[in-house]
Copies of this chain bind each other. A is one copy, B any other.
Amino acid sequence: MKKKSSTAKWSETETQAWIGLVKAQQHLLDKVEEELKKAGFPQLNWYDVLWELESAKDGSLRLNDIGKKVILDKHNVTRLVQRLESEGLVSRSQCPVDGRGIFACITDKGKKLRRQMWKVYEKVVRENFLCKYNKKELNEFRNFIERIQASGLSDSV
């Protein structure tokens, strides 16, 4: 019955820091989505998967691992990869050592698309986020952020 975890516990500053962070990022990502669509490209989560694949060894990952890197449940990974495959952006193959495992491997077409999408993505982030800060600040920023990740939160990355 102690007055714990009640709304009053947070000062304005704290609350604002969090809400500001969420809103700012939502707006930014929203804008990225908008620009991608405008340019005729697919959604951000396609980009995320392609990016994870491209930066992985051999350009391939097991579906399960994709799900961990990107924030998606297995079900959605299965279907997202199906869609990517039907567009020729990735290819699927059995895992030789684990009969259950399926690898998704990014194709040249997939790499090309990712690169094109990145141009759009990068532009939005640069013009609305990066350009507001100098190197030193971005460094500080990154350090800030890393402290969050340092806790058990990032089971991946």
- Residues on A facing B (Cβ under 8 Å): 5-7, 9-11, 13-14, 16-18, 20-31, 71, 115, 118-119, 122-123, 125-126, 128-130, 132-133, 135, 137-142, 144-151, 153-154, 157
Contacts and interface: CB of A to CB of B under 8 A. Distances in A.
A132 B150 CA distance: 10
A17 B157 CA distance: 13
Contacts of A10: 122, 126, 130
A27 B123 CA distance: 24
B149 A23 contact: yes
Question: Oligomeric state, in number of copies?
Answer: 2
Nearest to A18: B125
Contacts of A126: 5, 10
Contacts of A135: 11, 13-14
A26 B71 contact: yes
Contacts of A151: 128, 132
